[in-house]
Structure 1
Amino acid sequence: MVAARETTLQELLEGSKQYRVPLYQRTYSWTKTQLSRLWEDITQLAEDRIKHPDASHFIGSLVLAPSPSNGPTGVQEYLVVDGQQRLTTLTILLCAIRDHRVAQEGPEHRDRINQQYLINNWKPEQQRLKLVPTQADRPAYVACLDSTPQAGGSDPVGAAYRYFSAQLLTMDDADNLVDIDHIENAVISGLALVSVTAQQGDNAHRIFESLNNTGLQLTQADLLRNYLFMRLPTRGESVYNALWLPLQDQLNSKDLELLFWLDLVQRDSRIKQTDTYAGQQARLDRMCTEEEIEAEVARFSRLGVLLKSILDPTLEKVKEVRVRLRRLRDWGTSTVYPLLLHLLDRRDAGSATSEEITSAMLVVESFFVRRLLIGRATANLNRILLSVVTEMDQTLPVDKAVLGYLSTGRKYYASDDEIRKGLRAIPFYINGRPNQRSLVLQWLEESYASKEPVDLSSLTIEHVMPQTLTDEWRTALGDNLDPGESLEQVHEALVHTLGNLTLTGYNAKLSNSAFAVKRTQLATSGLLMNQEIARQPEWGRSEIYDRADSLAERVISVWPGPLPDAQREANPAWDLMNKVLAELPAGSWTTYGDLAAIIGSHPVAVGTRLATMPAPHAHRVLQVGGTVSPGFKWLDPTRTDDPHDLLRAEGVSFDDHGRASEAQRMDLEALAQLIGVSTDELPTATPVTDATQETLRDRFIEQLIALQGSEVAEATLLVLDAWTKVGGRNEYGTGQNETSCFLIAREKYEENGNIWPAAIYPSGKFEVVFQHLRIRTPFDNLDMREELRRRLNLAAGVTIAAAKIELRPGFPLTVLVAPDARDRVVDALQWFYAKARAGV
């Protein structure tokens, strides 16, 4: 027998209880994908509970088994047979809430949350923790529980703690109705779970298997179809032939499910795709006659035609509407679909014109582009887009209504002034998705309205001042430094800004060439923006700023801004800086310049801010050489401890001169990966024909030689040859800017799916893809990734920090030139291959 009942986290954790995750369970493995989904659910629930205090959200079940050691008194112990990932995540979130409230409100929250939900006070040490994770996760979990310097490390437990800490900082501001107390209340009392508890002597594992042995599931579209035709006992066949079959012919099962969800979202933006069937059924249950149900099927059929035009804009007859639909489809944000369906439906119903919906879509495109240009491409985007239809003013023409909604509140619809400032400072190249960055440059070139337009789709983004400075470029840039500036800081602040970027078909050929060489090539380009660059006699800070200013005015003329009364003064993104710092793992550090570059500010301004305003982990921000700033002071005047000692306790290494290890530095690229500012996809090995692979291989080698020289290219190819000899396969990518190479150890169709340890880029990086490996067997085990890191670090010139075990760190391809180092790398790859193939 089992007892199943609905419960809350508060009920589960209050009192003297302990939940033990058995040693045979897998280690904690939630990634940001699951964490962000849970966080969205919690913030939505917290908002709902402001008006509806009894609102709840079901998040799944726990299968528990009482411990054989339970007695009539003392701590009640349970084994967590299923649901340990969810329960562990929620207690980590409580640790983050506790520490945030202690820092922001007062120390009383520490004992309150600890004693109610996290520890069994006054109990023996072995019963102190209410949740006891697996042995492997325990040190990281206890570090978070006890708020030690090691809390928030680079392991999955630490990553979850850092993620929630960063989200709480972002959430906790005066403009937000949902404060941290609402969040805590939602977590403790609003999340509903089903607790399935076995009785003494029951086989908990058999229960678990029966709960999960559900077999092949019908899709939500299948369920809704069955429900609809169950409600049409006499008219079913004629409705099916006349209405449903044409709809089913137009849209596949996945798109049908999308249609039914889009229909619901236009009524309630909180509806999730997983609740589509339940939501539609509840709505349709209120209908009594077959005529009403038939009318709904007819409506679905009509909406299906409109959705087909959204998915395939070539079907739209009005050119201006077709262009806007295509551009929004190319942008790649599907959460705009509810609004697009609403706009087309309004036109279909005669309450909006083609001109009005075209104007509304331009506003949305402008909203996307302007957010990307100020470095806020993804901030709350999905919630904003899903709420447009339900929250915009329905009494206004649709274009005015969309503009009015997007202009109000904290939606990061950048004003003209923010665009002017942002284009000078924001690192455009690391923000958003690669295709979105390319689209902005393509659309800017199209705005020149050249009489001889060029096919822009095959062009790639070129850094005019290169990412890697040659001696020539260092001299040119160093001639105009201000007192106290370092060349590295100025380069980092400028290189990824829009003023330094363009499109070209000669990315590999131009490479790190001097500006005189690039200028000659750009002068022959068919792109007017390149011809403008070529008219400059030299290329440095002033030229990059001038071009940024010119492009800013073009952006302002092409993409309309928010309503004038909604514009505000552009300020540095201190909230984003705090989020970066909250996510910084123990055992790592960054610089004032790195922080300044990612938020579009200046190192001096960042230093001033950290010296005067509270910020998480401010002691982890060092000078560019890895030294603690001579002027560093704790904001708390009672603190006298040396920041060096705290950094060492967290795992940072210092040399005899007090310089932190460069390998442990989180530079601009690492910070972007860490907080998701850059949404670059992980390397994706997409199968293509052998002939295409041969072409890509040739392109890879051509780029490798052009960018790295023959010696480095030869050493790299020796590593690739060694990989194929051991049984691996080299897969060449189809990226726009360069052709990468993935070292494939296991194919997609094989057991446990595809896996590769590294990607090699002709621009000079051997990238170790820990971010990819953490969800691939057997390297989802942290110890396995650590062993790979250790083996690679045996090669001279390779120093991958433990703090980067969740990211995509790497080392320069020049390391491979030395035979001993190359052999060490090959040994590590051979070990990886054997482990990845074990049991296949």
Structure 2
Amino acid sequence: MTNTLLNTGTASFNDLIANGKTFQVPLYQRDYSWDRDEWEDLWLDILDLPVEKNHYMGYVVFQEQDTKSKFFLIIDGQQRFATLSILCLSAIRLLKEWVENDIDKEQNELRIEKLTEKFLGNFSTSKLTISPKLILNKNNDDFYKSYLLAHRKPPAISKLKPSQKKLWQAYEFFYMKIKEHFLTKSGEALAKFIDEETSNDLIFTTIIVSDDLNAYKVFETLNARGVKLSPADLLKNYLFSKAFASSTSDLEETERRWQSINDFLSKNDLPTFIRHYWNSRNELVRVSNLFRVIKNQIQSPQTVFCLLNELEGLASIYSAFENPADTMWNKEQRNLIRSLNLFGVSTWYSLMLIAKQKLSEQEFTKLLHELNVIIFRYNVISGLHANEIEVIFNKLSLKIFNGDISIAAQAFEQLKEVYVSDENFAQAFSTKLISTKINKNLVKYILVELENSISGTQHQFEDATSTIEHILPENPNSAWETYFQANEQEYYVYLLGNYTLLEESINKKIGDKVFSEKQQFYKKSTFKMSNGELNYTEWTPVVLRNHQDKMARWACNAWKSYYVQNK
């Protein structure tokens, strides 16, 4: 078949509509469907343009009908084009009102003429109508021409078809917004707002096709009417164009595989998944450069299908990283992945994607443990920058991908430089504050792991019977002011040293009692950190800090690499 994809590019609304082109919505397109939510979003985006400088409107797909006459069918993008045309009409409506009220009449009449010719169409002096640049579908076009382009109010709005009613409501919505925005009644400012700022700063990615049948196929395949592009959309469009250059059947197979990937991941996850996949076997690339790098390396239908095969095969693993309960994991792996997800970082995904592919189950599990320890020490407690650790993980990923490393012990040698030493880890832990208001599960996880370390138990932090006890209560009574000044209580209450574990039944009875009254309840607990490690006569800032120092020493044993010898 001939190459039906002519070109792709980037263009502003001004470039598209004000360049002598005519656009028509095909018969198979749906009616106008945008409502107030979309109008409001667009208006707010337009108001942000002076600060943001431009706003990305997503991709539009056109089928070129006639090169000489510059006539295009809109395969995807009619909702946005119709709405932007209505925005222009609403501005012209306001200018007409100002003309009727003799506000800068001659200049505003000229502005109306120029804006109409540029964005809406040429005015026929014989027919007294506009030959429009935009032709809507059969259900909307007559209404658009007869009422919106003519600035006429329909006789019975309640009897309009739903899509016609939406067109009229959009016209009213933008008229009111523009009127409120230009209370100074400056025609010059309004014309500049439409002609220079808005039309030049709304940016589209354009895809132009020539074949009628395949234009419909592209429309069905891309299937993102009016949706703004993500990096995944950019990649999707590029891959589809490469597959499309080969044959229609290749395009269908591309769509099948892309849909298979989507079945495992949400659209929001796709860009991150693709980046993590890429970084698992290539030098580190940032999100902003992802599309450019992949585009440079994937340039034929064969490389497209190779990439999709790999993405399709790994999507289920990636999805399981976010779901510890997935049947892919054994009990130990499930617990390790659950805690990694608690840490709130995803820098480990690329490394473990390739590790899952290349390492044995036993070595994969060992490496999961090492990452738990390293990330907890480095990110969670020490609060060090993620950039450095991601670079180290990437270097290790490449060694695993190339077959240079096949066991966790070798992997740890590459990770040593981001393994926080016991001394530095204990120092950071001894002053660490984590609020249960923000991260209750993380606090409970830490307490449970500490308890397991000092008592040799194997509690799970999801266990509903164990609860977090704030020794200095979150809402202390006035008696606590003897030990903690009122203005410092909020700080001390969320230090790790102020937490302990208690059974739910015991915790309910304690309330905001002072420490001396709480001790009898602590001794009834089965948790060692409560019944055996809180033998203090009082609970003060000094005692709390000393207790947290002791917890820091526990932590050095609780989160320790298999490959670091005890001193």
TM-score, normalised relative to structure 1: 0.36
In the alignment, is residue 299 of structure 1 matched against residue 288 of structure 2? Answer: no
C-alpha separation in 1, matches of 2:487 and 2:270 = 51
1:236 alignment partner in structure 2 = 250
Q: 1:362 to 1:398 in 2, by over 3 A?
A: same
Give the superposition deviation at 1:533. 4.4
CA contact (8 A) 1:500 1:544 kept: yes
C-alpha separation in 2, matches of 1:317 and 1:201 = 61
Please give the residue correspondences for 1:201-280 in structure 2 after superposition, counting only pairs within 5 Å.
Answer: 203=192, 205-210=194-199, 211-212=201-202, 214=204, 216-232=227-243, 233-234=246-247, 236=250, 239-240=253-254, 243-266=257-280, 267-272=282-287, 274-280=288-294
- The counterpart of 2:412, out of the listed 393, 403, 423, is 403
CA contact (8 A) 2:497 2:544 kept: yes
Q: 1:533 to 1:540 in 2, by over 3 A?
A: farther
C-alpha separation in 1, matches of 2:416 and 2:480 = 42
Give the superposition deviation at 1:218. 3.8
Identity %: 20
CA contact (8 A) 2:409 2:563 kept: no
C-alpha separation in 2, matches of 1:419 and 1:219 = 39
Between structures 1 and 2, the one with greater helix share: 2
C-alpha separation in 1, matches of 2:307 and 2:431 = 52
1:453-491 CA distance string (max 9 Å, x none): 78545865433134676564454x49xxxxxxxx78997
In the alignment, is residue 530 of structure 1 matched against residue 538 of structure 2? Answer: no
C-alpha separation in 2, matches of 1:517 and 1:261 = 55
C-alpha separation in 2, matches of 1:218 and 1:471 = 56
Q: Secondary structure at the match of 2:347?
A: helix
- The counterpart of 1:380, out of the listed 378, 381, 385, is 385
Q: 1:276 to 1:489 in 2, by over 3 A?
A: same
In the alignment, is residue 440 of structure 1 matched against residue 446 of structure 2? Answer: yes
Q: 1:432 to 1:387 in 2, by over 3 A?
A: farther
Q: 1:422 to 1:561 in 2, by over 3 A?
A: farther
Q: 1:319 to 1:563 in 2, by over 3 A?
A: closer
Give the superposition deviation at 1:341. 1.6
Give the superposition deviation at 1:559. 1.1
Amino acid at match of 1:501: Y
Give the superposition deviation at 1:307. 0.9
RMSD after superposition: 4.4
1:555 alignment partner in structure 2 = 555
C-alpha separation in 2, matches of 1:368 and 1:454 = 18
Q: 1:563 to 1:429 in 2, by over 3 A?
A: farther
CA contact (8 A) 1:259 1:307 kept: yes
Q: Secondary structure at the match of 1:253?
A: coil
C-alpha separation in 2, matches of 1:256 and 1:492 = 41
C-alpha separation in 2, matches of 1:201 and 1:512 = 63
In the alignment, is residue 341 of structure 1 matched against residue 350 of structure 2? Answer: no
1:389 alignment partner in structure 2 = 394
C-alpha separation in 2, matches of 1:492 and 1:345 = 47
Q: 1:404 to 1:511 in 2, by over 3 A?
A: farther
1:370 alignment partner in structure 2 = 377
C-alpha separation in 2, matches of 1:531 and 1:388 = 41
Give the superposition deviation at 1:284. 0.3
Mean Cα deviation higher: 379-388 or 325-334: 379-388
CA contact (8 A) 1:453 1:526 kept: no
In the alignment, is residue 416 of structure 1 matched against residue 406 of structure 2? Answer: no
Amino acid at match of 1:503: L
CA contact (8 A) 2:430 2:551 kept: no
Please give the residue correspondences for 1:281-300 in structure 2 after superposition, counting only pairs within 5 Å.
Answer: 281-285=295-299, 288=300, 290-300=301-311
Amino acid at match of 1:368: I
Q: 1:431 to 1:341 in 2, by over 3 A?
A: farther
Amino acid at match of 1:299: E
Amino acid at match of 1:338: S
1:323 alignment partner in structure 2 = 335
Q: 1:371 to 1:263 in 2, by over 3 A?
A: closer
Q: 1:433 to 1:529 in 2, by over 3 A?
A: same
Q: 1:219 to 1:417 in 2, by over 3 A?
A: closer
Q: Secondary structure at the match of 2:512?
A: coil
Give the superposition deviation at 1:449. 4.6
Give the superposition deviation at 1:28. 11
- The counterpart of 2:500, out of the listed 492, 499, 502, is 502
1:642-665 CA distance string (max 9 Å, x none): xxxxxxxxxxxxxxxxxxxxxxxx
C-alpha separation in 1, matches of 2:388 and 2:512 = 42
CA contact (8 A) 1:423 1:552 kept: yes
CA contact (8 A) 2:49 2:197 kept: no
1:597-622 CA distance string (max 9 Å, x none): xxxxxxxxxxxxxxxxxxxxxxxxxx
1:366-415 CA distance string (max 9 Å, x none): 223224675x32x312552355123678244463455344432xx5x432
CA contact (8 A) 1:344 1:357 kept: yes
Q: 1:418 to 1:252 in 2, by over 3 A?
A: closer
TM-score, normalised relative to structure 2: 0.51
Q: 1:212 to 1:415 in 2, by over 3 A?
A: same
CA contact (8 A) 1:373 1:423 kept: no
Give the superposition deviation at 1:442. 2.9
C-alpha separation in 2, matches of 1:423 and 1:498 = 8
1:736-793 CA distance string (max 9 Å, x none): xxxxxxxxxxxxxxxxxxxxxxxxxxxxxxxxxxxxxxxxxxxxxxxxxxxxxxxxxx
Please give the residue correspondences for 1:139-178 in structure 2 after superposition, counting only pairs within 5 Å.
Answer: none
- Larger gyration radius, structure 1 or structure 2: 2
Give the superposition deviation at 1:205. 4.3
Q: Secondary structure at the match of 1:502?
A: strand
CA contact (8 A) 1:416 1:561 kept: no
Q: Which runs of 5+ in 1 are unaligned?
A: 5-23, 31-199, 347-351, 479-486, 568-840
C-alpha separation in 2, matches of 1:242 and 1:26 = 38
1:356 alignment partner in structure 2 = 363
Give the superposition deviation at 1:536. 4.7
C-alpha separation in 1, matches of 2:258 and 2:49 = 47
C-alpha separation in 2, matches of 1:360 and 1:431 = 32
C-alpha separation in 1, matches of 2:462 and 2:302 = 52
Q: 1:301 to 1:452 in 2, by over 3 A?
A: closer
1:505-563 CA distance string (max 9 Å, x none): 47676343111332233333343322224655544467545643543333222212598
Amino acid at match of 1:516: S
CA contact (8 A) 1:494 1:541 kept: yes
C-alpha separation in 1, matches of 2:531 and 2:390 = 38
Give the superposition deviation at 1:329. 1.9
Please give the residue correspondences for 1:702-741 in structure 2 after superposition, counting only pairs within 5 Å.
Answer: none
C-alpha separation in 1, matches of 2:406 and 2:414 = 12
